[in-house]
Structure formats: C-alpha cells, structure tokens
Amino acid sequence: MGITRRQLLGGAALGAGGAIVGAGAGVAGVNAATPAPPGPTGGDTEPFYGTHQSGIATPVQAHAAFTAFDLDADADRASVARLMRLLSDDAARLMRGEPALADLDEELAHAPSRLTITFGFGPRLFDVIGRADKRPSSCAPLPDFSIDALQERWSGGDLLIQICGDDRVSVAHARRMLWKDTESFATQRWLQQGFLDARGTHEPGTTPRNLMGQVDGTVNPRTPEEFDEVVWSGGPPDWFVGGTMLAIRRIAMDLDTWDAVSRADRENTIGRRLTDGAPLTGDAEFDAPDLAAEGPDGAPVISDFAHIRRAATGGGAPFLRRGYNYDLGQDASGRTDAGHIFTAYAADLDTQFVPVQQTLADLDLLNLWTTPIGSSVFALPPGAPEGGWVGEGLLG
C-alpha cells in the first residue's frame, strides 16, 4: 500500500521537528559560551531640570506621543500657571522613575527608559494669558504651502505635551498621568503617536529610517555649539532665552505607489543611496553632496528635483529634525494609512525652517508620494531650575 499525502506530511513534520530539536541543542551549547547580554535599561533616566528642556537635544528615543490641548474658555494667566506647576512636578517625578502624585499604578513608573517630557505653548495661549507682547515672533501658524492638505484634527493647539522614551508602556503611562492633570484646565485637541527603531537595534548614533526605507535626519546639529547656534533662542523676548520653536508637520506617505518604484528611482528621488544614506556623489552618509557633479551623459548626478538638492538650496538656515513614523494599518478604502510625524526645532522658524519648506513645496520629487495633513507651531520654553517649573519666566 502506498504512502498517503497525510502520512507523508506527518512524517516530514516529525523529521523537521527532530531537526529543530537538534539545532536548538547545538545553539544552546554555543550560547552558554557567549557573553551575557546587556542588562535591562528601564532604569535609565534623563534630567528634567536644567537650562533647556529635555527631549530636544536628547538622543532620539524609540517612541513618542505628542498631545495638543485647547485651553478652557475661562482660562487665564493664573490658571495656566497652576497647570504648569502641576505638570512640571509630575513630569519631574515620572522622568526620575517615580509615580506622579495621584498615581495609583506606581509600578508603571519605575522603569522610565529615558523618558522625557517637554512642554510647548501655542500662539493663542499668549492672548489667553494677556501677554501677546511676549509671544516669540515666529510663534504663529505656518504659511499656506501649495502641497498642504491640512486637516483640523491634526493641526493647531494651545498647549503641547511631548513625551518620548524607549519603552512604550512608560510613554503611555506618562501620557495618561499628565492628561489627568490637564482635565480641569484644557481639552485634548489631538494625539499623534510615533515610533522609530527599538533601542539596541542599531549602533548608538545611527540615523533612523522612515517607512520609505530612507535614512532620515542626516543633516542635523550634533554638538552643543551647533545647538547654541541653530536651536536655542537668545531672545527676544527675554523669558524665551534657552527655549526653541517647534513646528510639527504630519505627513501622509503614499506607500502603496512607492512600493512600485524601483530602487534606482527611489535613490534619485532623495539623492541618497538606500544602503547607507550616502549622497549619490559620496562614500558615506555624512559626506557633503557634490551638487555640481555630472554623470557621463552630462546630467547632474543628483537630480535638479531631488529632495536633498532642493533642501540644500532652499535658503533659510539649519535646524534640528526629530521625526517619528506612524502606521495605522489600512483605511476604509484599503489604502495604507502611514507616514511621518516631522518635527523641526529652531531658534526662529521664519528664517530657518519656512524658506526651506517653501522651496520643497515649490518643486520636490518627494512630493509625488508625500502630503502634509497636519501643521502646528509651539514655543518651547527654556528648562526649569531645580524646584522651579516650566514657563515660570512667562507665567510667574
């Protein structure tokens, strides 16, 4: 009698199972001789108090939650000051790995994993507190760009709480605790959550990739001197010295059509190699692109419409980029709902960020696959001294 298909598959499975057991035994022996993996990193902390708020110059973390709030109709300077005292106190505790004052789930606070909590003030807040004259000059909605398809649900806001960390549970717990602090003062306007590579996935200092597969954030300030030059404000106004401006742009990516683009065309769109992020004219990621280089046919090696050429020739000045991916799966039509939460930190958005963004909006190959659907601007106050609170120079 011949062997049936069921018997054949059953035997194959049994054989595969035996092979797996044998392989597992061998691997166990090898692992026993290798060094032990690094210990847990949940206890790692970042400082809350200091000249500048954490979460800006901090090495980028794996998870982020940006929440914008609208102040209640009866809000005034005194109530916003009370709110910022409360938020600052709880943020300092959570970043140390301690529970917030009214925290009933204190175990969730014990592994902060480089948690940072950063606060920002939207343009309208200055009117609410009666200090419009203290609003930084670039704390205003960004200009209308031709590529924008902005949605109200991802734009605006009076108060921003930015929470970043290497553990999503810690970030989620902090967000809930701080949201409870705001309940009597403001209403949540929007929540945007994003992610990057998990900690330990790559070597420290490696530039993360976005969902298009491109390294994202190569051209950034890296030294304290560079941060002083392009990120931290020197005033006016006086209360804002040591603070920075933040533009948050939610950018939808058309990954479904991007999937049909060849690797060569993807690299030409950006002007960088996919493998290592090097410009098409260079050997390594941080090499300066040679915008004058021509190929054998006389055409520019980096296209006239490539993203890095447009960004480099768009005027303005350098600024800090900290971007996070988002992926919400498929929408009702079956299209992929994913993209990028792009953040730009600059001493002055009008002179640094806006000219570059205008050049990209005018003509950039990347615009074929990206659409800005959200836009917000916030003034991020300087840090608080030990025992103080964020925004004290404006609200105190």
| Residue 87 DSSP class | H
**Do 242 and 382 form a contact (C-beta atoms < 8 A)?**
yes
Which position among 216, 265, 304, 350 bears the catalytic label? 216
Spatial distance between the Cα atoms of 394 and 396, rounded to a whole number of angstroms: 6
Position 334: which residue type? G
Token reading at 26: 């061998």
SS3 assignment, position 69: strand
Token reading at 206: 């490696």
CB-facing half-sphere around the CA of 260: CA atoms within 13 A: 5
Q: How far apart are the first and last CA of the chain?
A: 92
Measured on CA atoms in the order 281, 282, 285, 288, is the torsion positive or negative? negative
- Reply yes or no on whether 158 is catalytic: no
Closest CA to 322 of 154, 118, 158: 118
> Where does 99-186 have alpha helices with state H?
123-128, 168-182
Closest CA to 191 of 248, 140, 143, 245: 248
Q: Residues with catalytic annotation? A: 216
